Structures are given as C-alpha cells and as structure tokens.
Amino acid sequence: MADLSRQSKPLFPIGVVQELTALSARQIRYYEEQGLIKPERTETKRRLYSFNDVDRLLSIKEYLDQGLNIAGIKMIFDNDLVKRERVAETVVTTRPELSDGELYKLLKNELKEAGRHGKTSLIQGELGRFFK
C-alpha cells in the first residue's frame, strides 16, 4: 500500500483547493461542518487537504447541482464505503489462492473505481427523488 497513502496525504491549503474545485472557501468549510470531508490541521489550525479530499469535493459539487442535499450526499458516501468493503470481502472469499500482492492489485483497482464515478449511478437516481 503505497498509492493509497499518497492520495490521503494532507498537502494543499484551502486556497489551492479553492482553485482546484472552483468552490468558495465558505463552501469548502461548510461541507466540512456537515461531515462530508475531514481535512487535517496543521499545528496552527490551518486546514490541509489531500488528493482524496479534493476528489470528494468535486463529487459533492456534482451531486449538489444534480439536486441532492447534504443528507443525500452523506448517504451516497456511506454507501460507497459499504460497497468498497463488500467488494474487498467478495474478492478475498472467492479467490483465496491469490497472493497478497495480486490481491492488493485487484483491490486497489476495484476500490478506486467504486469510489469514483460509475458504481453510484444506480442509487444516485433513487436518492435524488427523496432528498432534493
């Protein structure tokens, strides 16, 4: 596990995230209050966002102008976590002959796709009607 730590490493300050996501600092901090993201803090309380946080913010923006509210987005993220765990469990129980290295490679790709865009399109449509 080397690629994972890179994506979750706290790197950029809110100013950079603002440009990367085209979101206002106010919005970025607000989504944090709502529990959608959890950036690290420096010794002096300044926020540091990871690659994953930025990716998350971009997803939030998409879901938002698709008509979902904070509650709906929370459910989608929670559901993504369940899906990731389910995928991992499935692979492990189905192919016990895989070496750790092979298993890791499979999981890394599966998790990346599931966490990104695509696997959520189904539930996305459902939640859209109840939380907009």
Partner DNA sequence: ATTCTAACA
Partner DNA sequence: TGTTAGTA
Which of 3, 6, 16, 81 binds DNA (CB under 7 A)? It is 16
The tokens describing 88, both together, are 């991992």
- Least Å distance between CB 60 and DNA? 9
Which residues, numbered 44-83, are part of the site for DNA (CB under 7 A)? 44-47, 64
Contact (Cβ atoms closer than 8 angstroms) between residue 36 and residue 78: no
Stretch that binds DNA, among 19-27, 72-80, 94-102, 116-124 (CB under 7 A): 19-27
Count of CB atoms situated within 10 Å of the CB of 59:
19
- Least Å distance between CB 26 and DNA? 4
132 lies in the binding site for DNA (CB under 7 A):
no
User: Which is nearer to DNA, 17 or 114 (by Cβ)?
Assistant: 17
29 lies in the binding site for DNA (CB under 7 A):
yes
In the block, residue with structure tokens 């008509």: 67
Contact (Cβ atoms closer than 8 angstroms) between residue 35 and residue 97: no
The tokens describing 73, both together, are 């987005």
Stretch that binds DNA, among 3-11, 21-29, 82-90, 98-106 (CB under 7 A): 21-29
Q: List, in order, residues 6 or more apart from 23 with CB less than 8 Å away.
A: 17, 57, 61
In the block, residue with structure tokens 């859209």: 128
User: Which is nearer to DNA, 16 or 92 (by Cβ)?
Assistant: 16
The tokens describing 42, both together, are 């420096």
Where along the sequence are the contacts to DNA (CB under 7 A)?
13-16, 18, 24-27, 29-30, 44-47, 64
